[in-house]
Amino acid sequence: MTLHLDLLRHGETERGGGLRGSLDDALTAKGWEQMRAAVVGQGPWDRVVSSPLQRCARFASELGARLDLPVSLERDLQELHFGTWEGRSAAALMETDAEGLGLFWADPYRFTPPQGEPVSEFSERVLSAVSRLHQAYAGQRVLLISHGGVMRLLLARARGLPREQLLNVEVGHGAVFNLQVAADGVLKEGT
């Protein structure tokens, strides 16, 4: 049986752009608006699953209460941990670690930010979480509220992109994508 997984990226955060990773930033008023607007006309869902970081979890709680849906938090669907790069913008990194940033953008699986989480481990963690969601909720439609990196990983797999193109997948704040997760773990984009 297929799991219908709708992906929603959190909205704009108080600390702005850059590599937020495991930093627990709150949403701005605009971020709340982005997320509220994104779900209009979407669903209906059987449940909401969210990253535990507040930029996702607080909206999940609000939406779950408004729609009377069960909400659960899944820590394995948190963003990639960027190590010493957390909280820094690409522009700032270009001044201090242009070579590392270039290597990361060229192939994030081959270069890990200093003290960061290897993308191969991030991938295992996220895909294991999605597999658990399939086991628990196959046949249902689930809204997953998460992060740009999580969504890029899932969309890149669904689109059959080579790993070097992971960071080329565009995922804006408040973006919604629809995936189908098959029993064998194969991901397909679309409702």
- Asked whether residue 17 carries a pLDDT value surpassing 80, the answer given is no
What CATH number was assigned to the domain covering residues 3-189? Answer: 3.40.50.1240
pTM for the structure as a whole: 0.95
Instruction: Determine contact, residues 163/109, Cβ cutoff 8 Å.
Output: yes
Domain ranges (residues) in the chain: 3-189
pLDDT score at 190:
86
**Mean pLDDT across the stretch 56-77?**
98
Residue 73's DSSP bridge partners are: 50
- In whole angstroms, give the CA distance from residue 129 to residue 74: 8
pLDDT score at 94:
93
Half-sphere exposure of 50 (CA within 13 A, CB side): 22
- Please measure the distance between the N-terminal and C-terminal CA atoms of the chain and give it in whole angstroms: 14
The secondary structure element, H or E, covering residue 145 is strand 141-146
Report how far apart, in Å, the C-alpha atoms of 61 and of each of 66, 69, 71, 155, 163 are.
Answer: 9, 9, 7, 25, 33
- Asked whether residue 16 carries a pLDDT value surpassing 80, the answer given is no
Tens digits of residue pLDDT in 153-177? 999 999 999 999 999 999 999 999 9
